[in-house]
């Protein structure tokens, strides 16, 4: 690592403490992901969708946003993002166990359909890409009400071929809305490789809608922070949206219902595993003399204990009651 690459976080306005917290969050997200995958294989939970390989980019973007101020419409792999803006491992575990205390939906939705009102996380629905026009609507509300929040929405590269994506981008471009569109391009839409589903660069599609598009290395947490920070500042100035294409790689199967060895090789996965942003960022912190292998071992042990406690709590928590099936489905009260 060259001298010029050291302490990049400081030049971006991040303190040493913030830089370390970035690593802590992406490490915790990976720990949760590993545990959830094992729980599904053990028959303890019904389903899990992994975000492994995308956590460095997610953390970089989340740290560039304003928690408890901006509004977030994440997609179903964004565990590191939601942990960065206020959700906890306990929240994630209650969701994947489908328990009544689940803040997302009271145990009624897929675990990755995040929704947490106090942290401004807006839940998505099962059809992919529907969150894009919803995010555009939130941004329109901000402009109409002259409020200064920015809306963030993320989705996979498969979603970028859906009509909702194009409609949301076009409307946001026409009205110069304060929204950041992020395509987390992990190279595979379920089993279809990128070259069979996308012609050209997804970031270049922004040109047709009249706003900037940029492709970024998603394994570089600090570069993702820089680009997202610039996009947020642009939106705040009233200059409209930005489309960010975060290039990453899905290290796990599409979901626990998928056998990824049917469409790619172990060698391909392992090659990309060595390029994972968590490993790269750990090396960066050590090179900056902000971190050590001993500190890392201690962190892994603490986080393992945190995961164990959250797992035990969620496992013992009660399921939703049958009589509460329609709770929160319809508007409550007198409507005033």
Enzyme catalytic residues = 250, 254, 263
| Alpha-carbon distances, residue 290 vs 68, 69, 206, 275, 283 (angstroms) | 28, 30, 38, 21, 10
- Distance between CA atoms of residues 218 and 272, nearest Å: 12
CA distance 134 to 174: 16
Cβ neighbors of 55 (< 8 A, separation 6 or more) are 26, 29, 30, 79, 80, 277, 278
Residue 294, token pair as written in the block? 């001993």
Question: What is the signed CA dihedral for 186, 253, 125, 211, rounded to 10 degrees?
Answer: 0
The residue to which tokens 């393992």 are assigned: 304
Give the position of tokens 């179903």.
76
β-strands 242-247, 179-185 pairing: parallel
Put residue 120 in one of left, alpha, beta given phi > 0 → left and psi -120 to 50 → alpha.
left
């Amino acid at each position: 690592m060259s001298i010029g690459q050291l302490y990049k976080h400081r030049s971006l306005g991040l303190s040493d403490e913030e830089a370390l917290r970035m690593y802590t969050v992406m490490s915790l997200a990976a720990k949760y992901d590993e545990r959830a995958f094992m729980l599904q294989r053990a028959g303890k939970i019904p389903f899990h969708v992994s975000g492994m390989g995308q956590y460095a980019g997610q953390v970089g973007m989340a740290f560039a946003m304003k928690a408890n101020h901006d509004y977030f419409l994440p997609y179903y792999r964004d565990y590191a993002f939601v942990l960065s803006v206020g959700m906890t491992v306990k929240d994630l575990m209650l969701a994947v166990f489908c328990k009544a205390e689940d803040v997302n939906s009271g145990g009624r939705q897929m675990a990755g359909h995040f929704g947490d009102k106090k942290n401004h996380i807006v839940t998505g629905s099962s059809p992919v890409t529907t969150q894009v026009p919803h995010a555009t609507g939130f941004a329109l509300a901000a402009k109409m009400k002259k409020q200064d929040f920015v809306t963030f929405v993320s989705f996979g590269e498969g979603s970028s071929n859906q009509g909702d994506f194009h409609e949301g981008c076009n409307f946001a471009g026409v009205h110069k809305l304060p929204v950041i569109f992020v395509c987390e391009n992990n190279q595979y839409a379920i089993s279809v490789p990128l070259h069979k589903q996308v012609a050209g660069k997804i970031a270049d599609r922004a040109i047709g809608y009249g706003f900037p598009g940029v492709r970024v290395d998603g394994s570089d947490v600090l570069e993702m922070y820089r680009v997202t920070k610039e996009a947020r500042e642009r939106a705040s100035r009233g200059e409209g949206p930005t489309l960010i294409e975060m290039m990453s790689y899905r290290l796990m199967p599409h979901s626990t219902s998928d056998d990824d060895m049917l469409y790619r090789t172990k060698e391909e996965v392992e090659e990309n595993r060595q390029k994972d942003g968590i490993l790269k960022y750990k090396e960066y912190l050590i090179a900056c003399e902000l971190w050590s292998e001993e500190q890392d071992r201690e962190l892994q042990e603490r986080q393992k204990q945190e995961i164990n406690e959250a797992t035990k709590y969620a496992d013992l928590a009660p399921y939703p009651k049958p009589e509460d099936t329609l709770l929160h489905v319809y508007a409550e009260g007198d409507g005033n």
